[in-house]
Structure 1
Amino acid sequence: MSQKLSIETAVLLVVPPLMWASNAVVGRAVADMVPPLTLNFLRWLLALLLLVPLGWRVLGRHSVLWREWPRYAMLGLLGIGLYNSLQYLALHTSTPMNVTLVAASTPVWMLIIGRMFHGVAIRPAQVVGAVLSLAGVAVVLSGGRWAELMALQFVAGDLLMVLATMIWAFYSWQLTRVPADSPMRGDWAGFLFGQILYGVAWSGLFTAIEWQWSDARILWSGGLVLAILFVALGPAVIAYRCWGAGIQRVGPTVAGFFNNLTPLFAALLSLFLLGEHPRLFHAVAFALIIGGIVLSSRRHVR
């Protein structure tokens, strides 16, 4: 049962897009240093090791992790094995700008999948909220200039990102299917550890295929090591923890709108790194995206 969108929950759901904005930039920056599927495998293998001190208890012989293995294998496949692999693949031919634009369709897919597979009705306010949120993303990516948006060109990687976004919506809805009395409900580290455990297995399989059928190679450097450490800790462990907690509080539909803060954060991070100042269109975009969130969660706000 979804709760109201409190300030605490809103903060939880703001953290993931902030982390994922930097993930897209880092993923693009190291695209020539490490194959995409290998990067995903290394990222989650390190994330799994980081969670061992907190989640190792779920490895017990009678753990729900083994009794309900299809559930956790599916979560690992969707949220870790496939979504992230497809995103890194997309960044090999696409740009962070295009990737975040395609990912802006997340709220729409959340609504469609919720209606088709879980019988959740779509309210008119949610449709209007999705339009406002998409408009905010368009303002960010165009720099407030319509001609810039029209000049965007889409490539094969963008189609991979469409598929990745659909998979993310499926994954987010699956997070709500965990039984209320499951021991994992109160153990966030164990719940995430279980997903990553299966996800690493899937990612390892995909990586083996990548090395078998391509000229894959890794150009190790201090920068690459730091990049892998960052994407394992921030966009993986911290972001997934916050996303899962937010989903269980307000549901995938409302949470999906927060995803559209990602391109805004990406633009602002770039501004600060370059020593520039925010402009008026950033404020307009922020207002539109937040307006979409508030409108879509109207029954949840207090």
Structure 2
Amino acid sequence: MTLPAVSRRKATLTGFAAILLWSLLALLTVGSAPVPPLLLNAICFAIGGGIGLVWAFRTGGLRRLRAVPLRVYAFGTLGLFGYHLLYFSALRMAPPAEAGLIAYLWPLLIVLFSGLLPGERLVARHVLGALMALAGTALILLGGDRGGPLSATALPGFGLAFIAALTWAAYSVLSRRLGAVPTDSVAVFCIASAVLSAIAHLALETTVWPQDGIGWLCVIALGLGPVGLAFYVWDIGMKHGDIQMLGVASYAAPLLSTLALIVAGASEPSATILLAALLVAGGALIAARARDNAARLATDG
């Protein structure tokens, strides 16, 4: 799973596939209940890692995997396992909507952090587009009456959610510095994350398996898509695509996730969702125009 001659545009489109896959995360997670989160992580990461290992075996990638330094495997494993552990812990310790909003600061952080990368330049329109998209995400996650002030006991959960956002943003942006590392290595990240998740599950959770065929299908679909293939295509997008555009476009994931829940009958359509869609699309458009203007100036220069 290596793309030596991939273009920036093709890599960006490949990264968009991860956003589409992540839009199914909430719906499939609901369907996988009552499997506890760490056990769900272990199963899904094992499936996702297995996909990558099979691909590597069929394409000669196993030789490439042996050449990857151990520090890279440690970095990738900490990124995948660390983010999901922090995320699920945050949602246990704080109101899920508010904690989810804080955790979903990672696309904004990606846009901001990407300005520090060699060859990248952050402009005002990137920030404006990211903030508009963040406002759309806020409408989805915070829409509705919360019924009073938040309890101080939720603050630790909010702290973990913010650390989770930093973790995924750092993992995504730093992946750009590992452009020479084959995407096959994500398979090892997933397998190692599955092992760590299984160990944490045995120590912290009670084992509960899916209750019916629909539950098992949702678990398998999670491992094949949002917690599997998504990591591979995201890796390609982060290493070779337009990282700022992908960061802003990531705000479409909670919007698309909400639409998926509506189509499935698990949520009701509202004016809030329409306004959120306009903000997310507008933010992405502003960021895209900023990218186009930068490219035009570079060409004219």
* TM range, smaller chain: 0.7 to 0.9
Q: What residue is the counterpart of 2:298 in the other structure?
A: none
Shift of 1:169: 0.7
For structure 1, which segment, 94-103 or 122-131, has the greater mean C-alpha deviation from structure 2 after superposition?
Answer: 94-103
Q: Is the Cα–Cα contact under 8 Å of residues 27 and 91 in structure 1 kept in the other structure? A: no
**Partner-residue secondary structure (3-state), 1:297:** helix
Deviations 1:259-299 (A, max 9, x none): 21122112212221228874443332222112212222334
Name the residue aligned to 2:23. 21
What's the TM-score once normalised by structure 2's chain length? 0.77
Change beyond 3 A, Cα 1:112–1:59: same
Aligned to 2:39: 38
User: Do the aligned partners of 1:75 and 1:174 also contact (CA within 8 Å) in 2?
Assistant: no
Specify the alignment match of 1:47 in structure 2: 48
- 1:131 Cα offset (Å): 1.5
- 2:169 match: 169
Residue in structure 1 matching 2:245, options 238, 254, 260: 254
2:125 and 2:231 mapped to 1: Cα distance?
Answer: 27
Alpha-carbon distance between aligned partners in 2 of 1:290 and 1:203, rounded to the nearest angstrom: 35
- Give distance in 2, aligned partners of 1:200 and 1:3: 29
| Match runs of 1:226-245 below 5 Å | 226-245=217-236
Q: Which runs of 5+ in 1 are unaligned?
A: 185-190
**Contact 1:77 / 1:199 at 8 angstroms: preserved in 2?**
no
Q: Is the 8 Å Cα contact of residues 140 and 255 (structure 2) preserved in structure 1?
A: yes
Are the aligned partners of 2:34 and 2:210 in contact in 1 as well (CA < 8 Å)?
no
Q: Quick check: 1:175–1:247 contact (8 Å CA) kept in 2?
A: yes
Greater CA drift, 223-232 or 271-280: 271-280
- 1:153–1:14 CA distance, 2 compared to 1 (3 A): farther
How many Å separate the matches in 2 of 1:120 and 1:150? Answer: 44
> Whole-Å Cα distance in 2 between the matches of residues 43 and 26 of structure 1?
12
Any conservation in 2 of the 1:18–1:262 contact (CA below 8 Å)?
A: yes
2:206 corresponds to: 216
Give the Cα separation in 2 of the matches to 1:9 and 1:277: 35
Q: CA deviation at 1:82?
A: 1.4
Residue 282 (structure 1) aligned with residue 273 (structure 2): yes
Pairing 1:73-84 to 2, within 5 Å after superposition: 73-78=74-79, 80-84=80-84
Distance 1:284 1:14, change over 3 A: farther
Deviates more, 1:284-293 or 1:217-226: 217-226
| Deviations 1:79-119, CA, capped at 9 Å, x for gaps | x2212233333344556634542233123322443356769
Q: Is the 8 A contact 1:81 1:200 kept in 2?
A: no
Deviations 1:127-165 (A, max 9, x none): 21121111111233344x6xx479684835443322221
Is 2:196 the partner of 1:205? yes
* Counterpart position of 1:71: 72
Contact 1:136 1:288 in 2 (8 A): yes
Partner SS, residue 206 of structure 2: coil
- Alignment-mate amino acid for residue 45 of structure 1: A
Bigger Cα displacement from structure 2, 119-128 vs 281-290: 119-128
- Contact kept in structure 1, 2:27 and 2:260, CA below 8 Å: no
Q: State the SS of the aligned residue for 1:283.
A: helix
> Contact conserved, 1:91 with 1:99, CA < 8 A, in 2?
yes
Report deviation, 1:126.
Answer: 1.6
Deviations 1:30-53 (A, max 9, x none): 46433x222212111111223333
Instruction: Give the AA of the match of 1:178.
Output: L
Question: Is 2:127 the counterpart of 1:136?
Answer: no
- Alpha carbons 1:99, 1:158 under 8 Å: kept: yes
Alpha-carbon distance in structure 2 between the residues aligned to 1:202 and 1:129:
33
State the shift of 1:233 in Å. 0.6
Residue 39 (structure 2) pairs with residue 58 (structure 1): no
Secondary structure in 2 matching 1:300: helix
Which aligned pairs between 1:112-191 and structure 2 lie closer than 5 A?
112-115=112-115, 121-143=121-143, 148=145, 153=150, 155=154, 156-180=156-180, 184=182, 191=183
Structure 1 pair 149–65 and aligned structure 2 pair: CA distance change class (3 A)? farther
Cα RMSD after superposing both structures:
3.4
Question: Aligned partners of 2:118, 2:33: CA distance in 1, in Å?
Answer: 37
